[in-house]
């Protein structure tokens, strides 16, 4: 039975809050227990200074280590054994709680690579504890006013669990990050000086960078997450917004002396609770599956190239002033909906326990190691080819998106020009009608003018006749007057 490779699923970061009892110094100083745990909230609610905080779980000062493990960490450990990545990390101000010291560890790919990391191959729990002790010995602590054993560095312990099903050769790997952060500090309270003060500044700087990453992820701003602002956030990149199921243990003090720091820690946890990671099973592909994936990526790249050529042809038609009908226009969204990686794989059956290694002769073991290295190299080469094809696909996607935007803009410009032409034609038709009316009016005026001109001419002739008669009569009058005068 074959199925698609499991798609990443969203998984919210779990945040639990743990309070310790008042310590001797706080009791001697008269500090009060200011935290309230409202009844009937199923241990998920805290009231501090009249403000209510909700978390996945709240552990009161009397909670045992076993209770904390069972309710905060056990499910993460089980998930790691099922092939998921998991992270458990403690966060809080200095002196808030006595935390486990962990050593730095990275996987074989060195992503991200941190100088000075210690990597050990272990085959038993006892060997794991030996590595933890080694890490504890390397960790620097110092005495401050708030903590007699203040951690002066962050610590990361990574257990990389690899499994193989001997029946179908399917391989699973899960990484368990155990992260112990140095406590945030106010210099005015810790009284740090000299080297300890410099360490405090570096600690607070990296914790500030972590807070910025949490805020960016909580705000839903996926365009830029400032993971690169510190080594700490680079290491935790997979745990915060990446491929890991994560539980954050916020460690708090209930003392009134530390109320401000406790509120800051609770606000940090509340923001982190809104972050969602995309988790998926880490399954190592076989050579045949790598080949199939490579072929699919090549086929997909070819499809994108073909789509791009069609889009360019359509764009040229638009640019040349040709109208492209709706049925001829390419729909690039169809190409964009294709998943980048889609591989047919047989689901992994429950992983069988790995049998103890068979003792082989040194020469045979050397041959095995050589063959394994050769196969790993082949897989690395294929992986590189797949990465190149994936990058090509992404580049083609970007080009196709640009072409789609350009085609869309050209279509809009063409439609705008068409609308303008229609408007001008309508105005032209309207102007023609107006000119026609004006011409008719001018013709009527011309006819009237001619008529009036003829009337004026007739009147002028009449006036001339009357003037002539008047002249004659005047002459006669003058003659008569002359005769009378004699």
The residue range of the domain holding 413 is 370-468
Q: What's the pTM?
A: 0.55
In a domain, 350, yes or no: no
Distance from C-alpha of 146 to C-alpha of 191, rounded to nearest angstrom:
9
**279 and 293 housed in the same domain:** no
Which residues of the chain fall below pLDDT 70?
A: 1-8, 93-102, 104-118, 138-153, 183-204, 221-223, 331-365, 369, 376, 379-380, 383, 387
In a domain, 3, yes or no: no
pLDDT at 53: 93
Q: What is the CATH number of the domain that holds 61?
A: 3.40.850.10
Which of these three, 264, 284, 304, is where a domain ends?
A: 284
pLDDT at 57: 94
Distance from C-alpha of 402 to C-alpha of 394, rounded to nearest angstrom:
12
2 backbone dihedrals φ, ψ, rounded to 5°: -110, 155
pLDDT at 145: 41
**162 and 28 housed in the same domain:** yes
Distance from C-alpha of 416 to C-alpha of 339, rounded to nearest angstrom:
35
Say if CB 266 and CB 107 are below 8 A apart.
no
Distance from C-alpha of 63 to C-alpha of 66, rounded to nearest angstrom:
8
Closest CA relative to residue 283, chosen from 6, 77, 79: 6
* Range 453-471 burial, b when 16+ CB lie within 10 A, else e: eeeeeeeeeeeeeeeeeee
**208 and 292 housed in the same domain:** no
In a domain, 475, yes or no: no
pLDDT at 213: 85
Distance from C-alpha of 77 to C-alpha of 87, rounded to nearest angstrom:
9
In a domain, 4, yes or no: no
| HSE-up of residue 266 (Cα within 13 Å, Cβ side) | 25
Distance from C-alpha of 321 to C-alpha of 57, rounded to nearest angstrom:
66
Q: 276: which strand partners?
A: 12
* 17 preceded by a cis bond (ω within 30 of 0): no
In a domain, 201, yes or no: yes
pLDDT at 64: 92
**91 and 190 housed in the same domain:** yes
pLDDT at 37: 92
**290 and 271 housed in the same domain:** no
**394 and 262 housed in the same domain:** no
pLDDT at 80: 93
Closest CA relative to residue 298, chosen from 290, 287, 288: 290
What's the helix, strand, coil split of the chain in %, to 5? 50, 15, 30
Distance from C-alpha of 363 to C-alpha of 439, rounded to nearest angstrom:
112
Q: Please report, for residues 296, 395, 412, the alpha-carbon distance to residue 331 in angstroms, rounded to integers and kept in the order given.
A: 22, 18, 16
| Total domains, the chain | 3
Q: 171: which strand partners?
A: 164, 284
**146 and 73 housed in the same domain:** yes
Which of these three, 262, 284, 306, is where a domain ends?
A: 284
Q: Which residue has the tokens 């199923």?
A: 42
In a domain, 98, yes or no: yes
In a domain, 2, yes or no: no
Say if CB 278 and CB 243 are below 8 A apart.
yes
**172 and 291 housed in the same domain:** no
**146 and 169 housed in the same domain:** yes
Read off the DSSP letter of residue 258: G
In a domain, 479, yes or no: no
**299 and 277 housed in the same domain:** no
**78 and 225 housed in the same domain:** yes
**28 and 110 housed in the same domain:** yes
Which of these three, 257, 284, 311, is where a domain ends?
A: 284
Closest CA relative to residue 200, chosen from 95, 98, 94: 94
């Amino acid at each position: 039975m074959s199925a698609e490779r499991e798609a990443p699923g969203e998984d919210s970061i779990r945040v639990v809050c743990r309070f310790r009892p008042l310590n001797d110094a706080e009791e001697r100083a008269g500090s009060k227990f200011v935290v309230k745990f409202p009844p009937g909230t199923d241990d998920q609610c805290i009231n501090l200074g009249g403000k209510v905080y909700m978390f996945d779980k709240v552990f009161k000062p009397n909670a045992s280590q076993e209770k904390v493990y069972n309710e905060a960490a056990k499910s993460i450990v089980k998930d790691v054994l099922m092939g998921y990545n998991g992270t458990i990390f403690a966060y809080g101000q200095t002196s808030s709680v006595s935390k486990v010291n962990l050593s730095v560890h990275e996987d074989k790919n060195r992503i991200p690579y941190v100088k000075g990391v210690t990597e050990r191959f272990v085959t038993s729990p006892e060997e794991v504890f030996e590595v933890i002790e080694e890490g504890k010995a390397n960790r620097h602590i110092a005495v401050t006013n708030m903590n007699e054993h203040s951690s002066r560095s962050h610590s990361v312990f990574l257990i990389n669990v690899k499994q193989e099903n001997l029946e179908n050769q399917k391989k699973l790997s899960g990484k368990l990050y155990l992260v112990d952060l140095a406590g945030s500090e106010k210099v005015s309270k810790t009284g740090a000086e000299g080297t300890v003060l410099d360490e405090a500044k570096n600690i607070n700087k990296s914790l500030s960078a972590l807070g910025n990453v949490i805020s960016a992820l909580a705000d839903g701003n996926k365009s830029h997450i400032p993971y690169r602002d510190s080594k700490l956030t680079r290491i935790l990149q997979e745990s915060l917004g990446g491929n890991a199921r994560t539980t954050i243990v916020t460690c708090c003090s209930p003392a009134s002396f530390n109320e401000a720091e406790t509120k800051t820690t609770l606000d940090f946890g509340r923001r982190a609770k809104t972050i969602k990671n995309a988790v998926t099973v880490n399954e190592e592909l076989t050579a045949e599956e790598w080949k199939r994936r490579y072929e699919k990526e090549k086929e997909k790249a070819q499809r994108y190239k073909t789509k791009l050529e069609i889009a360019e042809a359509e764009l040229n038609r638009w640019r040349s002033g040709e109208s492209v009908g709706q049925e001829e226009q390419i729909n690039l969204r169809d190409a964009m909906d294709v998943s980048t990686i889609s591989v047919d794989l047989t689901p992994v059956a429950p992983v069988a326990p790995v049998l103890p290694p068979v003792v082989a002769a040194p020469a045979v073991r050397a041959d095995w190691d050589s063959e394994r290295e050769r196969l790993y190299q082949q897989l690395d080469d294929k992986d590189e080819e797949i990465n190149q094809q994936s990058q090509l696909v992404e580049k083609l996607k970007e080009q196709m998106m640009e072409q789609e935007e350009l085609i869309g803009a050209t279509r809009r410009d063409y439609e705008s020009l068409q609308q303008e032409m229609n408007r001008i034609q309508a105005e032209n038709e309207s102007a023609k009608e107006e000119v026609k009316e004006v011409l008719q009016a001018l013709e009527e005026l011309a006819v009237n003018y001619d008529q009036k001109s003829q009337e004026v001419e007739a009147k002028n002739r009449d006036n001339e006749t009357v003037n002539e008669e008047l002249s004659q009569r005047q002459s006669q009058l003058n003659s008569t007057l002359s005769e009378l005068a004699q």
